[in-house]
Amino acid sequence: MSKGHKVRCEKVKAGLYTVTAENITVKVSSGIIPHFHFWYTEDNSTVYHVKFVQLAEFIDGNNDSAFQHNETVRPTDTGPGLFHTPIFSFSEGARGWNFSGFYNITSDEAILGVGFNFTLNGTRSPIFRDLYIELRCRIYLNDTRLNVTANDQAVYYNMTGGAELKVDVVIKNWPWLTDHSMLALRWDISWESGPKAGERHEPFIRGHRVDVSRNMTIERRIEAPPHANETSVVFRGVKTNRTRAHFDSLVKAKVFNGTAEGLVNVTASYRTDGEALRFYICYPYFGSNTLEHDPSMGVYPTTLEVLPVPSPNIPGIPADTVTYNHSKVVPKMFVGEVQANRMTVLLFRNVILTVNSSRCLRLNLTVSSRVVMHYLILDLKPGESLNLMMNMTVSTPEGVRKLDRDIGIYLDIRHNATLRVNATLRLYINKTALESELGRSINASRLSWVYWNGSSWILVPSWMDADGYLTAHVTHLSVWSIVEVVPLKVTAQLSPEVVTVGEPVTVSAVVKDEEGNPVADVRVTVRLGGKIVQLTDKGNGNYEGTIDTTGLAEGTYDIVIRAEKGGYTSHQTSKTVTVKMKEAMPLTSLVLYGCIAAVVIIVVVVILYKLRTRA
């Protein structure tokens, strides 16, 4: 790297290099098998070791979509003479692995980071002679938002600059034994702490400690957290319970060929062997296509374990509030303990979180690196001790509809409480900074907290308090955001406006905001008497549908058209339709039709009589 950048690459000896970034240092070995040692740059008292071990083809016999070693493909799973070993060891490279050397990652001539690749250089086994494996490794200088896309699908994730190593795993030409198999990529994760470490580090998966000294007899599936894009192993200090390092596996992989592409689900399982943690990343069958997947690993600075410091000048927070300084860290699975009835400030690089809880609280916090500085206060009154997991992002969690005029903050808050959790949410509103961030003007008096109820956004009563915080009292914790509430305006036309009972009425509606902009994805309903129908979105703010008049008495009726959408003030209008009964047939017409019927009957009788006499 050129002088002035925050990544330095050095050759230690033949086949051994170090890559030093602001927070992470990685030792790269380019020998027989790819593996990494990494540690916090300013403190190498604990060193983590990640090693690529093998690929294993297996059949998911217990339908958990994860690898267990007793599911590895056996001869009885294939036809006669078709079986071969289902396992490829990364040490079987005939001439090792080709190491690319280091190169700059650039965009528009700007250097974004440093990269290096490992590519499989042939194998000893003819079975795997066409197998292609490439490991593309990246360290970014600054916080970077990345994505995996295929057609109209996308998964987003964040890389912390100077603190994480990203590895793109590319696999193609796997010699499948069956077309209903899966493929497991095994990584072994171990670590060693020296006498200066101060405390042992232990791995945790989904909040549960993993005992590596135990020799597990079977692999266990790892459930990905709800709405999370990654499955993670984190390492915490035994004394402080602080997160020190992490290993992440994206829950989606890209599968593609020359003409088509798509995203597939990725699962994981693990097993301990007394010395290391075996982590299995599991991919579905992808045939002759190419698979690309993005795991990563990283560190948290250990020198940030500091004593409480005086509270900075935070609006509404007393100066003597207990404050912990983690201002160099963008929290990712940060774990902390908050004592009951003791207001605590956690100071991070891009958020200042103040927590006050009536019961002891264990917090697991992740904040997207794209979040700019915000002041957030959580005042909790749980009925019991609480484990709280909070994810703060600029985009919606999976399965949640984006708000039209949000302020770029979404909180996914989950907990283990069995009783109701009453809380007060407060976010400091700096109108000038917010407008600069959003690139639009806002009316702060229209801001409101909203929550996602599983199908739509619900507004809750909100107000600006004396300290400038948008405040709401809530009775549950789920997915929350803040929206600038804008009124809807719906206009409508009927066709026809006068109908005969039983005929449908076509309703055409146009929905706009107060500035005259068309609004999409609005729920527009039409009510006529006891009948309610929803209009179809035709695009560009236009909605259309029909409502039936069957069963109505003759008269004039109001058709009520109502427009509703989360984050907007609903609006309704009405139009009048006249319903008439079918006109009775005139007497002259009845006489005429009667005569015609009589003539027809006489003709039929005459014809039948003649036929009978001939017989």
Would you state the pLDDT for residue 197? Answer: 66
Report the chain's terminal Cα–Cα distance, integer Å: 115
Residue with tokens 């990246």: 138
Lowest-pLDDT choice from 160-169, 194-203, 356-365, 490-499: 194-203
CB-based contact 415:394 (threshold 8 Å): no
**Cβ atoms < 10 Å from Cβ of 603:** 10
For 310-336, give the DSSP string.
---S-TTS-TTSEEEEETT---SSEEE
Nearest to 261 by CA among 297, 222, 290, 229: 290
Nearest-5° angle of CA 412, CA 415, CA 421?
Answer: 100
More confident residue, 348 or 207: 348
**Which pLDDT does position 494 carry in this prediction?**
95
Among the ranges given (82-86, 379-383, 395-399, 587-591), the one the predictor scored with the smallest mean pLDDT: 587-591
Angle at 82 between CA 74 and CA 184, to 5 degrees: 45
pLDDT tens per residue, range 37-71: 999 988 888 899 999 999 999 999 999 999 999 99
| 319: pLDDT strictly greater than 90 | no
Which secondary-structure segment (H or E) carries 317?
Answer: none
Element containing residue 614 per DSSP (H, E) = helix 587-614
Rounded to 5 degrees, what are φ and ψ at 403?
-80, 145
**CB-based contact 158:369 (threshold 8 Å):** yes
CA-to-CA dists, residue 575 to 222, 416, 478, 511, 518, angstroms = 57, 50, 39, 15, 21
**Spatial distance between the Cα atoms of 188 and 270, rounded to a whole number of angstroms:** 10
Q: CA–CA separation, 305 vs 300, rounded Å?
A: 11
**Beta pairing, strands 361-367 & 386-393:** parallel
Average pLDDT over residues 405-415: 93
Position 480 scores a pLDDT of 96
Closest CA to 247 of 333, 182, 161, 330: 333
What pairing do the DSSP bridges indicate for beta strands 153-159 and 144-150?
Answer: antiparallel
Q: Residue 556: what pLDDT?
A: 94
Residue 473: how many CB atoms within 10 A of its CB?
14
Per-residue model confidence (pLDDT) at position 306? 46
According to DSSP H, which parts of 251-408 are helical?
none
pLDDT tens digit string along 562-604? Answer: 999 999 999 999 999 999 987 655 656 656 767 787 777 887 7
Nearest in space to 141 (alpha carbons), one of 1, 346, 295? 1
Name, in order, each residue with C-beta under 8 angstroms of 393's C-beta and a sequence gap of 6 or more. Answer: 367, 368, 370, 371, 409, 410, 412
Mean pLDDT along residues 447-451: 96
Write the CB contacts of 478 (distance below 8 Å, at least 6 apart in sequence).
412, 413, 414, 451, 452, 453
pLDDT of residue 403: 93
| pLDDT for res 254 | 96
Instruction: Classify domain 487-580 by CATH number.
Output: 2.60.40.1930
CB-based contact 547:507 (threshold 8 Å)? yes
State the pLDDT at residue 316: 87
d(CA 21, CA 102): 14
Q: Which whole number is the average pLDDT over 320-349?
A: 83
Q: Please state the pTM of the whole predicted model.
A: 0.66
Determine the Cα–Cα distance for residues 310 and 329; give it in Å rounded to an integer: 18
Residue 349, pLDDT score: 85
Across the chain, mean pLDDT equals: 88
CB atoms within 10 A of CB 328: 14
Q: What is the pLDDT of residue 44?
A: 87
pLDDT at 93: 66
* pLDDT value, residue 424: 96
Specify the higher pLDDT residue, 332 or 512. Answer: 512
d(CA 319, CA 250): 41
Residue 427 near residue 470 (C-beta atoms within 8 A): yes
Res 303 pLDDT > 90: no
The pLDDT, as a whole number, for residue 222 is: 92
Between 470 and 602, residue with greater pLDDT: 470
pLDDT of residue 4: 40
Tokens standing for residue 589: 């017409």
| Residue 326 pLDDT greater than 70, yes or no | yes
| Beta strand pairing call for 486-495 and 568-569 | parallel
Q: Residues 128-184: pLDDT tens digits?
A: 999 999 999 999 988 787 888 888 888 877 788 888 999 999 999 999 999 999 999
Average pLDDT (347-356) is 91
485, 448 contact by CB (below 8 A): yes
Residue 3 has pLDDT above 50, yes or no: no
For residue range 523-537, list pLDDT tens digits in order. Answer: 999 999 889 999 999
- State the fold for domain 8-299: Beta-galactosidase; Chain A, domain 5 (2.70.98)
∠ CA 543-541-154, nearest 5°, is 105
Q: What is the pLDDT of residue 227?
A: 61
